[in-house]
Amino acid sequence: MESIRDRVAIIGMGCTKFGERWDADAMDLMVEAAYEAYQDAGVSPKDIQAAWVGTVGSFSTGQGLAEALKLDYIPITRCENACATATDAFRNACYAVAAGIYDIVLAMGVEKLKDSGASGLVTPRGPSSDVEPPTPPPAQFALAATRYAHHYGIPMDQLKRILAKIAVKNHHNGTLNPKAHFQREVTEEQVLNAPMIAWPLGLYDCCGVSDGAAAAIIVRADWAKNFRDDYVLVKGLGLAVGGKQGLLHDDYDFIHFPENIRAAQIAYQEAGVKNPRKEIDLAIVHDCFTITELILYEDLGFTERGRGPAEVEAGTFTLEGELPVNTDGGLKCFGHPIGASGIRMIYEVYKQLQGKAGPRQIKKTPRLGLTHNLGGRPGSFTGAVAIFGRRD
């Protein structure tokens, strides 16, 4: 088994404004993202040799995508992997380039979510009649919050304040990002007094519902310098799907997610990262709920088990902190158009590594950035971790 490290590079990216895009259907969003990426890379659609598109339910194959993107008679593959859908489309695109089958490809993700909400997306019926009906995500992650508080003996009021600080941080970052859905500060008091969604998670502990798309142009690493000097290298790609069926599986403890740990282990190994806290310069992670981001700090090795709350108090993960997390505003401000989020995250890492993140640019010159997704349901989550770096 070989690593993906330094074998493929990103030479262009695009990302739509996320939000209530009543003005655009899924095709319009894809065109908007793809054309920004084409332009950023300085390529034309006819240069693209193959494409991967991630979407959970906004379209199926054969509905005119090739014509809209001006991709004529090339392979286009749809990937779906729950909340990691876009990242997995990106991953498969990278492997095909690393195999030498293609020199330059397009990977993108899209979801049109406002029309219907996540529950209105087509959800294939389960493969087995034995599968329990899905628990709504806020309820799944509420279990993590109550368990985290119990396990570490943290009074719930205290945990809620910690979670509120995560929401405040991400909302602040979102104010600096014109592509975010929500660009508004919130205060700890607002978060704590917000309507309850699934106790102890209130409205501002949950990410929004948005429309959006994002796109990346990927090439063989040795080609990248022909397109631009500040290309971004793929350093590691980890993905893991859990094999424990059922929400209440015995060995599922809800204070960590083994899929994250395994995905991170693969990505760190590929990237040669030994000490993530020191080596990762920024991370865009799957803050579907504030408790998810808290647990992620620990799952991804940014801090020790149980140390997440103290790090939040210390401001470690703020824009000015030691390891900025969700510098773009995260799912909190972008919402989570499911098939789009993974590549939207990569877009932020790409811009930060290029020093082009504008008012959100982190202070140190970043060398390595990380993206993360967690999707599906407890017991059979998909965890995905991707690591990107500047050319040396």
Residues labelled catalytic? 83, 336
Structure tokens belonging to residue 28: 């319009």
Of the residues 117, 127, 153, 155, which one makes contact with a copy of itself according to CB under 8 A: 127
Of the residues 26, 33, 180, 312, which one makes contact with a copy of itself according to CB under 8 A: 26
Site for a copy of itself in 155-184 (CB under 8 A): none
Site for a copy of itself in 342-381 (CB under 8 A): 375-377, 379-381
CB of 165 to a copy of itself, least distance (A): 30
Print the binding letters for residues 224-263 with a copy of itself: x by CB under 8 A, - otherwise.
---------------xxxxxxxx-----------xx--x-
What is the spatial distance between Cα 310 and Cα 50, in angstroms, rounded to a whole number? Answer: 46
Amino acid, single-letter form, for residue 255: I
HSE on the CB side for 268, CA within 13 Å?
18
DSSP code of residue 83: B
Reference 345, options 392, 391, 296; nearest CA is 296
Structure tokens belonging to residue 17: 């404004």
Nearer to a copy of itself, 135 or 183 (CB): 135
CB of 316 to a copy of itself, least distance (A): 28
Cis peptide before 200, with omega less than 30 degrees from 0?
yes
Nearer to a copy of itself, 67 or 230 (CB): 67
What is the spatial distance between Cα 56 and Cα 111, in angstroms, rounded to a whole number? Answer: 7
CB of 123 to a copy of itself, least distance (A): 6
Confirm or reject binding of residue 5 to a copy of itself (CB under 8 A).
no
Give the binding-site size for a copy of itself (rule: CB under 8 A): 80
Q: Are 391 and 13 in contact (CB under 8 A)?
A: no
Site for a copy of itself in 74-113 (CB under 8 A): 74-82, 88, 91-92, 95-96, 98-103, 110, 112
CB of 37 to a copy of itself, least distance (A): 17
What is the spatial distance between Cα 110 and Cα 85, in angstroms, rounded to a whole number? Answer: 9
Give the binding range for a copy of itself (CB under 8 A) out of 10-18, 73-81, 169-177, 301-309.
Answer: 73-81
Reference 357, options 177, 183, 184; nearest CA is 177
Question: Scanning the structure block, which residue is given the tokens 């570490």?
Answer: 152
